[in-house]
Amino acid sequence: MATAAVPGLTVQAAGAHTRHAQGDYDAVRLVATDGRKLIIRAPRSQAAESEQSADLVALRSLTAGIRSRLPFDLPAFVGQAPIDGTRAIVTDFVPGRHRTADELTSEMRLAESVGLAIAAIHALPTGFVADAGLPRRTAAESRDEVIALVGRAADTGRLPAALLRRWEEATDDAALWRFEPTVINGSLGAESILVDGDRVTGVLGWARLAVGDPARDLHWLLTSRGAAAERALEAYLAGREGAADEHLPRRALLYGELELARWLLHGVDTHDESVVEDAVVLLDGLVATVHDRSSEPLAAQTGPILTVGDVERLLDGTPRGHVPREAGGALLTDSYDFSDLERVGEIEQVSADATAPIPLDLSDWGDAAPGGDDEPSRGEPPAGDRPAGERRSDTA
């Protein structure tokens, strides 16, 4: 199928790629005879097909000129082929290794690279997003989306009154929502970032590329626990060259807290009481932080921009790394991740007379240890959980 998708391609070897597909894709890693490393994916569900199409539209909008402004690599579309009423997509391999949020902010130089990488995304010219027909949200529209989300969570009857009050105060504060929209990845997290040593080498998962609130890309960073987390924020602000508004960290914290509301709504929408109960426990844990005397309101305050230390006090009790990306309506789309390739240990030779696998040198293909099971999936999120403004038809 890959050779049908890419004219002239000759595949030397291939191996299954499943760790980050979460059951929504069939994915295979490829080595071409000319040395190229590629991946081909075919969606298994309508939701995965929509997400893959959105990712492809975004990647195609990121032209060579736009990519040249970024200090890291992005996947590039190579080809496609029809399969069972959908299509398989071939992309190239972006080198790098995955790290947790805490690891990304554990060392000064790497944390600085992370902050500058995010700032570079937010500094991109916005015109190409409109040219590609991707979402563009004003500050007012970003605020309205949050108001709608809080309203839906409140309607479940499971949202603690203290959090409803806290979030309503934030959305009622006009000063908090005075910002200039920027290009955003839209679903950026530690799992989106690839690194080599002390620098960011790639960013994956662009299905929610848009113009909107830059704070959406930062909540995971502000709640990381690395010793150099403050340096990451400082590098980000320096990279924005004064363009970042003073209340951006507070909105980022709000988005972080709202991930728990999204998890609650995911449980309600899918009629999964175990998810609902899990979300309620997490929300109750956040209430404890809200009532702690070290906590501060999210509504705008006079004074300088928050430091990472201030941010940690605000969300010190918020459980992190527990709410999956599905809660926000976005599938985990790092389909170009090769970090688990060493788990395979060897990949099969592709030839007519192949009788045994050919061991390959995998030292530059990822950092996962050989062996072990793939990560389990929490299940497929509802296809309609994405805000209406983010549903895109496949125009690629």
Query: pLDDT tens digit string along 39-94?
Result: 898 998 888 899 889 999 999 999 999 999 999 999 999 999 998 889 999 999 88
Q: Which pLDDT value is given to residue 15?
A: 85
Q: Which pLDDT value is given to residue 207?
A: 93
Q: Cα separation of 67 and 50, whole Å?
A: 24
Pairing of strands 37-43, 86-92: antiparallel
The vertex-254 CA angle with 249 and 116, nearest 5°, equals 35
Rg (CA), the chain: 21
- The CATH code of domain 2-95+337-390 reads 3.30.200.20
Q: Which pLDDT value is given to residue 373?
A: 31
CATH topology of domain 101-328: Aminoglycoside 3'-phosphotransferase; Chain: A, domain 2 (3.90.1200)
Q: Which pLDDT value is given to residue 84?
A: 86
Q: What is the domain partition of the chain in residue ranges? A: 2-95+337-390, 101-328
Residues with Cβ within 8 Å of residue 325, at least 6 apart in sequence: 187, 189, 191, 331, 332
Q: Which pLDDT value is given to residue 114?
A: 97
CA torsion 98→103→104→108, rounded to 10°?
-140
Angle, to 10 degrees, between the axis of helix 161-172 and the axis of helix 139-155?
Answer: 160
- β partners of residue 40: 28, 90
Q: Cα separation of 96 and 232, whole Å?
A: 19
Q: Give the residues of the chain that fall short of pLDDT 50.
A: 20-22, 302-305, 314-364, 366-396
The backbone torsions φ and ψ at residue 179, rounded to the nearest 5 degrees and listed phi first, read -150, 160
Would the pTM count as exceeding 0.95? no
Q: Which pLDDT value is given to residue 126?
A: 96
Contact 180, 209 (CB under 8 A): no
Q: Which pLDDT value is given to residue 95?
A: 84
